């Protein structure tokens, strides 16, 4: 997201460096830009724009593949059905819990990881490569790892539990495992974003703070964290959006049983188990609206924080 603004800004400064733009040159530039962006715009419009519109349209229809002849416009009835269903609210609650808890844990561990990676004097390259493994690994693969690890009689983690406990058969413990899987996989991403932010904190400032008698904790909370606030917000935004669409790990771990369904799972099940495109689309649109609202809140937050922070070209 910052790329967005920095992109705009960079373009602006690039233009500023040149002599005053001539209208002829601007026109040529515009035409070229249009040509260059055309493929991207085309793909985005056909594979995202049109389907979104179509999803909204489908969500207003009764459209059940099993009753093809009963297809017809039903207005907002599908939304009423979804919003009045306990399944939706349960999935919503599960998704919110997984999102909030995992992003919170990720932030704490990620910050620690970033500080460690930033300050470490031994094996920096090795550590950086290692934390990229969870980021890169296929979610389905990692989820199977966690599933087997917690399966009684099979897993090394289940072996640590008292006899007779089967964490993947109970709602609370299963959600804990889901959160663990999410945290493990995405903390590195969070850490890397924060690490890049740490690189922008001037060393002199920290030294000056230390001179003034600030302890390590105070330097972290009073100097470092405020300085990297933009990086923190971006990292939180990206991760929140990402965590909210959690699907793969739940699909592998429980397939939604024991009340562990996320909203994405619910949408999937109503589309591909019930073959109810109307209800499924209504769920899809609702998820989109929720995500958009969360993003809006973040952007507002961010908008408050953004001015005053100027782009800095600093590379590690």
Residues 16-45 within binding reach of other proteins (CB under 8 A):
21, 26, 29-30, 32-37, 39-41, 43-44
> Which DSSP string do the residues of 281-304 spell out, in sequence order?
HHHHHHHHHHHHHHHHHHHHHHHH
**Paired strand residues for 61:** 73
Residues 88-127 touching other proteins, rule: CB under 8 A, are 88, 90, 113, 116-117, 119-123, 125-127
* Per-residue buried b or exposed e for 267-278, using 16+ beta carbons within 10 Å of the residue's own CB: bbbbbeeeebbb
Please state the closest distance from residue 179 (CB atom) to other proteins, in A: 14
| Residue 129 binding other proteins, by CB under 8 A | yes
Please state the closest distance from residue 207 (CB atom) to other proteins, in A: 12
3-state secondary structure at position 61:
strand
Q: Which stretch binds other proteins (CB under 8 A): 5-13, 99-107, 209-217, 218-226?
A: 5-13
| Residue 1 binding other proteins, by CB under 8 A | yes
**Paired strand residues for 62:** 72
Contact present, 61 and 72 (Cβ < 8 Å): yes
Count of chain residues binding other proteins (CB under 8 A): 147
Q: How many CA atoms lie within 13 A of 293 on its CB side?
A: 6
* Chosen residue from 19, 23, 66, 204 binding other proteins by CB under 8 A: 66
* Chosen residue from 22, 76, 104, 169 binding other proteins by CB under 8 A: 169
State how far the Cα of 25 lies from the Cα of 240, in Å rounded to an integer. 43
| Residue 65 binding other proteins, by CB under 8 A | yes
| Residue 296 binding other proteins, by CB under 8 A | no
């Amino acid at each position: 997201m910052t790329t967005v603004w920095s992109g705009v800004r960079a373009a602006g400064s690039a233009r500023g460096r040149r002599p005053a733009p001539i209208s002829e040159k601007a026109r040529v530039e515009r035409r070229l830009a249009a040509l260059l962006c055309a493929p991207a715009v085309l793909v985005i419009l056909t594979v995202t724009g049109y389907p979104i519109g179509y999803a909204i349209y489908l969500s207003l229809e009764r459209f059940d593949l099993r009753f093809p002849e009963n297809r017809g416009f039903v207005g907002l009835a599908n939304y009423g059905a979804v919003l009045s269903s306990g399944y939706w609210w349960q999935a919503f609650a599960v998704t919110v819990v997984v999102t909030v808890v995992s992003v919170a844990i990720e932030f704490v561990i990620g910050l620690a990881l970033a500080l460690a990676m930033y300050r470490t004097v031994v094996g920096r390259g090795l550590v950086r490569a290692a934390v990229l493994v969870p980021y890169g690994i296929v979610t389905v693969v990692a989820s199977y790892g966690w599933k087997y690890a917690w399966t009684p009689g099979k897993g090394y983690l289940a072996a640590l539990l008292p006899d007779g406990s089967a964490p993947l058969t109970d709602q609370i413990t299963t959600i804990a495992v889901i959160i663990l899987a999410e945290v493990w996989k995405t903390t590195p991403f969070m850490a890397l974003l924060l690490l890049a932010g740490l690189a922008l904190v001037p060393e002199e400032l920290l030294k000056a703070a230390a001179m003034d008698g600030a302890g390590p904790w105070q330097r972290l909370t009073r100097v470092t964290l405020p300085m990297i606030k933009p990086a923190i917000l971006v990292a939180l935004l990206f991760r929140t959006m990402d965590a909210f669409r959690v699907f793969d790990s739940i699909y592998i771990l429980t397939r939604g049983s024991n009340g562990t369904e996320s909203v994405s799972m619910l949408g999937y099940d109503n589309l591909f188990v019930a073959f109810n495109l109307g209800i499924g689309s209504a769920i899809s649109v609702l998820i989109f609206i929720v995500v958009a609202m969360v993003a809006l809140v973040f952007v507002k937050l961010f908008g408050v924080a953004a001015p005053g922070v100027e782009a800095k070209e600093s590379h590690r």
